[in-house]
Amino acid sequence: MARLKNTPRADGRVQSRVYIGTGADGKKKYKYVYAANNKELQEKVTELKTKLGKGIDLLSEHDSLDSWGKRWLKRKTNRVSENWAKALDINYRKLEPLLHMEVTELRRIDLEDVLTDLAAQGYSERVIKAVRDIVSGIMEMCVENRVIEYNPFRAVELPKVRQKPENERRALTSEERRWIEETPHRAQTAAMIMMYAGLRRGELIPLLWSDIDLEKGTISVNKSVEMLDGHPSVKSGGKTEHATRIVYIPQVLINYLKPIAGSRFELVCPSAQGKMLTDSAWKRLWSSYIKDLNLKYADFGSYIVDGKPMERPASKCRPGGVPILIPQFTAHWLRHTFITLMYLSGVDVLTAAEQAGHSDVKITMEIYTHLDAEYKKRTMEKLDYYVEHECRMSVKSPDKSQSSAKIS
């Protein structure tokens, strides 16, 4: 039972010591309350009594978020896979600005600020949601253990994540596809498979030659990787339940793969040492590939240096660097190219969804709908051009002699 005992202070305020329970050391614990006058002090003490009556553990009110976060992680990681546990730990560390704060001090705005910063740093909506769910789970544990009365993060909305411009995920043109088909490079196999089989990067990195059947013309997508601190962590199955699939590949890809099938490494797209590509190794490989394509196909004549058209460099290691003048397409572009090619060849949307490994056919339908509108627009632009140029050229001016005859 809390006891009220008012004591004047030298600064003019009054204080009271309230018994809040017995600590782990067996000693009685008290909480000091300060106020400007007795009425305010009584109100604060009454509020404290109410919390004690509700069973709120005031002995833990100074516990940090990190102290409860570590308990939550320990309980959670015992129930999930090793890979998932690593992912939880990585996202937990993104809460660094809040970890030192007392759980009773945390407010909704504190988490909103952290999530907004993550969005500004370019993190995806999936990652930001994972961070929010982690800290909300920790606060729910605090509620369950009567450290706080309610979870202030339960209704926190996700910030708007910057959407990539449309041209960042466009399909490659026929000319750009030819660049990939005709330019040997260690990344060429990866590009060909993503472009003509639609594999995601996470599905491509662990792909084995034993997953490819060139006689049947299929690729079995049965595992994927997730980058944890930049290193690949393999899990069985695809990114989603529907991502585990058999992809039927076109003859152009079969013809490309046949001469290199069964190379000295089990992995189809390994590092130079035959190991699975890390995130940094992938980025270096892809950057090198773009530079090679740029050196071979870029229109350097249209690039003006010191008032003169630039000559094609002899090497991508040219002093001062070589400007990248071709589109810097990514794995997303190549996968989008695969879906676009299915659309253009008349593959129905259900089959396209299965081949792409979409979790919901609505995703494929949205892409198909967008492509349909895009190609209709292009068709009408062709009509506009024809009417503007071809039709005008075909209309001949009146013959002068005929005009004179009519006048006479």
Residue 165 has pLDDT above 80, yes or no: no
Please, where are the H alpha helices in 187-318?
188-197, 201-204, 251-257, 279-297
| pLDDT-derived band at 306, boundaries 50, 70, 90 | confident
Other residues' Cβ atoms within 10 Å of the Cβ of residue 187: 21
Question: Would you say residue 175 has pLDDT above 50?
Answer: yes
Instruction: Calculate mean pLDDT across residues 205-234.
Output: 92
Mean local confidence (pLDDT), 42-59? 63
Which residues have a Cβ under 8 Å from the Cβ of 372 and sit 6 or more positions away? 343
Q: Is the dihedral of CA 273, 274, 278, 279 positive or negative?
A: positive
Question: Which of the listed ranges 139-153, 326-340, 381-395 does the model predict with the highest average pLDDT?
Answer: 326-340
Q: In what order do the strands lie in the sheet with 6-8?
A: 6-8, 14-22, 28-35
Q: What percent of the chain clears pLDDT 70, i.e. is strictly above it?
A: 78
Same fold, 65-144 and 178-328: no
Residue 29 has pLDDT above 90, yes or no: no
Helix (H) / strand (E) element for 31: namely: strand 28-35
Per-residue confidence (pLDDT) for residue 163, from 0 to 100: 60
Angle of helix 65-77 versus helix 82-92 axis, rounded to 10: 170
Give residue-wise pLDDT tens across range 321-350.
Answer: 788 899 989 999 999 999 999 998 999 999
Dihedral, CA of residue 327, residue 331, residue 333 and residue 337, to nearest 10:
130
- Token pair of 394 as six digits: 């075909």
Cβ proximity of 328 and 170 under 8 Å: no
Confidence of residue 406 (pLDDT cuts 50, 70, 90): very low
How confident is the model over 247-275, as a mean pLDDT?
92
Give percent of the chain above pLDDT 90. Answer: 37
Q: What are the DSSP E strand ranges found in 154-253?
A: 212-213, 218-221, 223-228, 231-236, 245-248
Average pLDDT, the chain: 82
Mean pLDDT of 47-60: 60
Do 91 and 127 meet the contact criterion of CB atoms below 8 Å apart?
yes
Please check the confidence at residue 28 and state whether its pLDDT lies above 80.
Answer: no
Q: How confident is the model at residue 68 (pLDDT cuts 50, 70, 90)?
A: confident
Amino acid identity, position 384: D
What is the sign of the dihedral through the CA atoms of 199, 203, 205 and 206?
negative
Domain spans, the chain: 6-59, 65-144, 178-328
DSSP state of 208: B
Domain 178-328 has CATH 1.10.443: yes
Three-class SS state of 322 = coil
**Mean pLDDT, residues 101-129 taken together:** 87
Residue 245 has pLDDT above 50, yes or no: yes
Tallying the residues shown for the chain, one arrives at 408
Dist CA 17 CA 32 (whole Å): 5
pLDDT surpasses 70 at 33: no
pLDDT of residue 53: 59
In the predicted structure, residue 244 carries a pLDDT above the cut 80: yes
| Confidence (pLDDT) at 154 | 85
What is the number of other CB atoms lying within 10 angstroms of the CB of residue 374?
A: 15
Query: Structure tokens of 377?
Result: 């627009």
CA distance 66 to 70: 6
d(CA 106, CA 135): 11
Total-model pTM: 0.59
Distances (CA, A) of 258 to 230, 242, 247, 252, 261: 32, 28, 17, 10, 5
The CATH code that applies to domain 65-144 is 1.10.150
Q: Where residue 168 falls among pLDDT bands split at 50, 70, 90?
A: low
Six-digit token pair at 128?
């930001």
Cβ atoms of 219 and 247 within 8 Å: the answer is yes
Tell me if residue 147 falls in helix, strand or coil: coil
| The Cα angle at residue 368 between residues 364 and 373, in degrees rounded to 5 | 150
Given a cut of 50, whether residue 41 has pLDDT beyond it is yes
* The predicted structure's pLDDT at residue 3: 44
pLDDT at 230 (0 to 100) = 82
Mean pLDDT check: name the lowest of 155-169, 187-201, 306-320: 155-169
To 5 degrees, how large is the angle CA 312–CA 313–CA 318? 155
Residue 212: its pLDDT value, please?
Answer: 96
Is the pLDDT at 402 greater than 70? The verdict is no
